[in-house]
Structure 1
Amino acid sequence: MKQSVRTWFRWISYLEGASFLILLGIAMPLKYMFDSPEAVTVTGGIHGFLFTIYLIAIVVMAILFRWKIVRIAGAVLAAFLPFGPFVLERRLKAEG
């Protein structure tokens, strides 16, 4: 069961990180450079949903794997940094 939760967390991390990069790298430039706010509306909604799922996934991982508060804080902080979820996932994978 822990392995399936771990795989679920990996997918959520990747999706949340990708949605953040799309929001910052594509949707925001479209909004401000080409006066197309629809891109931010759609992408922002998707990212908001994935961010919420990511936070829930952190709680599940913290309970199942007995994460310390520092790990939990780092996982939450990773969501606010471009490429943060990818770096976190790489560290978790390295730890086994």
Structure 2
Amino acid sequence: MLKLFSYTAIAEGISYLLLFGIGMPLKYIFKIPEPNIYIGYAHGFLFIAYVILAVLFCMEKKWSLKRFIILFIASLLPFGTFYIDKKYLKPLAA
């Protein structure tokens, strides 16, 4: 479960950066909306997977609601899931 959640956190963070770093400029500056569709679908799927896995992981580890809220807020911030992976998930793997 830890590896799956860690990989999902990293993938979600990458999709977030791709969506807002590449997809949005292509759509609004260069008027090329097509890449945004596919990046958006991937990001949406990964975001939902991240939140579901965060709930399951918090329940498995018996983490508090406060820690889940931290995990959730991190998914809304650029680079947030990378921070979560380094701060909370990597120490558990060691």
Taking structure 1 as the reference length, the TM-score comes to 0.91
Aligned to 1:49: 45
Identity of matched residues, %:
36
- Where relative contact order (Cα < 8 A, 6+ residues apart) is larger, the structure is 2
Q: In the alignment, is residue 12 of structure 1 matched against residue 8 of structure 2?
A: yes
**CA RMSD for the aligned pairs?**
1.1
Structure 2 distance, partners of 1:24, 1:89, is 21
Counterpart of 2:34 (choices 15, 18, 38) is: 38
Taking structure 2 as the reference length, the TM-score comes to 0.92
Structure 2 distance, partners of 1:49, 1:81, is 17
Aligned to 2:82: 86
Aligned residues: 92
- What stretches of structure 1 move > 2 A for 4+ residues in a row? 93-96
**Structure 1 gap ranges (5+):** none
